[in-house]
Chains A and B, each alone.
Chain A
Amino acid sequence: MRNSDRRLDALGLATLVFVIAGLYMAFLYAQTEVNMGLVYRIFFFHLGAVAAGFFAIIVVAVAGIAYLRTNARAWDRIAESSAEIGIVFCTIALLTGMIWARPIWGVWWTWDPRLTSFLILWLIYIAYLMLRASARDDARVARFSAVFGIVGALNVPIVIMSARVWRGISPVLFQETQQGFTFGLTPEMTQTLVVCITACLLLFFYLLALRTRLEAVRDELVALRRARSAR
């Protein structure tokens, strides 16, 4: 067994522990919120997915910069894997957000700044993966997607910032959520939130490691085939 395999298993185990702990805490440990009732519990996973979704695009961009600098295929593998996993978390964040919004706000969707900015992020991921699918050759795919990953991530801080400005202009329901969560969290809720976000980030890293390794194995296969064809 290779050393990297052992590390991967350790990461997987840690992820499993945190996910189980997170589930337990979210459903049983944290008290029921007074105003929103049980449905608020989805928020623990929602925020975890949001964190992982944002984190993934940053990984895409950093790996993109590293790829442009070094031209090393490994960075491109990380960027591609991170984008694929990022879109999954992003989708989960959107869906859980909608499920939460339905009973609380009475609608599946509002053009709330946070929701909208997350939808934009989701669209950027989609565009990124479409670009990967439609470029002509390997080196160009890597270069183009590195560039687009950087450009896409540029939007993250400004999207957050513009959401704040936006709220300043048209006060929205969001204020209520802030009272309910940022200011109204019990210690148990805070602990649960930390565990859930950690669980999601660990899961992200675990999946990233698995997915990157799959790509690496695929590359090895290509190299073997090349070696054979050169003989």
Chain B
Amino acid sequence: MSETLIAVERLDKTFGARWALRDVTFNVAQGEIVALVGPNGAGKTTLLRIIGTLARPNAGQIRIGKIPLAEHPNSARAAIGFVGHQTFMYDDLTAWENLNFYARLYDLPNISQRIRQVAARVGIENRLNDVTRTLSRGLQQRLTIARMLLHEPAVLLLDEPYTGLDQVAADLLDQIMADAKPEGRAVLFSTHDLERGLAICDRAIVLKAGRVVHDLSRGAWRNLAGFMEIYARVLEERK
């Protein structure tokens, strides 16, 4: 039995009069790839931001491996790789300088070697000396993915990672997520692109209005059409 790397327990989050998340509970195990799906405003981004320590829940517990997030945020952060809506990069620095900066924040050893490794993995090793501002959007996305992998995190969190990716970069991302399996990481990502997302994940968690309405493992749907049927039914309910 593989180890649980993300444990989310009874998470609540409110924004003023609105529930963003309500009683959310699930686990992601080592080597597992889990997709978060659901309509706009279902709470996918909020959930990922809370697990990534960028926002705090009103109630509930999260553990990354054995580390309780609330008590030891910095230990948890060292184990999390995060890709969000923005690139997190400084426009006026070169790609290398950006990665070097983050590597120093993570206090990594052998920084230049590490940077070369991740850069090669996302295919930007020839553009490392370019100022980030001058890189195309696709290359900036790759840089963001490189940043995520920099510190060899056990947990990967990706919020709508396919948005704005070209075909090549999206395939690259699929490859990196698939590699996470043998590398023993846990992956949790949100997506609107059901076709791509479902093709790669082991499980799909359906969020609606802040609640987990379905937690389906791969066997529960045979193909995309099968999933869409379930998904459509969920969206229909209690409308």
Contact = CB atoms under 8 A, between A and B. Distances in A.
Direct contact of A and B (CB under 8 A): yes
Interface of A: 137-138, 222-223, 225-226, 229-230
Interface stretch (B17-25, B46-54, B135-143): B17-25
A222 B19 contact: no
A138 B22 contact: no
B14 interface: yes
Contacts of B15: 137-138
A167 B63 CA distance: 59
Nearest to B211: A230
B17 A222 contact: yes
A223 B18 CA distance: 9
B236 to A, nearest CB: 18
B217 to A, nearest CB: 28
B19 A229 contact: yes
A14 B229 CA distance: 69
A226 B16 CA distance: 8
A137 B17 CA distance: 11
A226 B17 contact: yes
A225 B19 CA distance: 10
B17 A230 contact: no
Contacts of A223: 17
B56 to A, nearest CB: 8
10 contacts: A138-B16, A222-B16, A223-B17, A225-B17, A226-B14, A226-B17, A226-B19, A229-B17, A230-B19, A230-B22
Contacts of A225: 17
Interface residues of B, number: 8
Interface string B204-215: 000001000000
Contacts of B209: 230
Closest A-B pairs by Cβ, 10 of them: A222-B17, A225-B17, A226-B17, A230-B19, A138-B16, A226-B19, A222-B16, A137-B15, A230-B22, A226-B14
Interface in B209-231: 209
A223 B209 CA distance: 17
B213 to A, nearest CB: 14
A139 to B, nearest CB: 8
Contacts of A230: 19, 22, 209
A226 B18 CA distance: 6
Interface string B10-37: 0000111111001000000000000000
Interface in B20-78: 22
A229 B14 CA distance: 12
A72 to B, nearest CB: 12
Contacts of B14: 226
A140 to B, nearest CB: 11
Most chain A CB within 10 A, of B14, B15, B17, B18, is at: B17
Given A222-B16, A226-B18, A230-B209, 9 more contacts: A138-B16, A222-B17, A225-B17, A226-B14, A226-B17, A229-B17, A229-B18, A229-B19, A230-B22
A107 to B, nearest CB: 49
Nearest to A226: B17
Contacts of B17: 222-223, 225-226, 229
Contacts of A138: 15-16
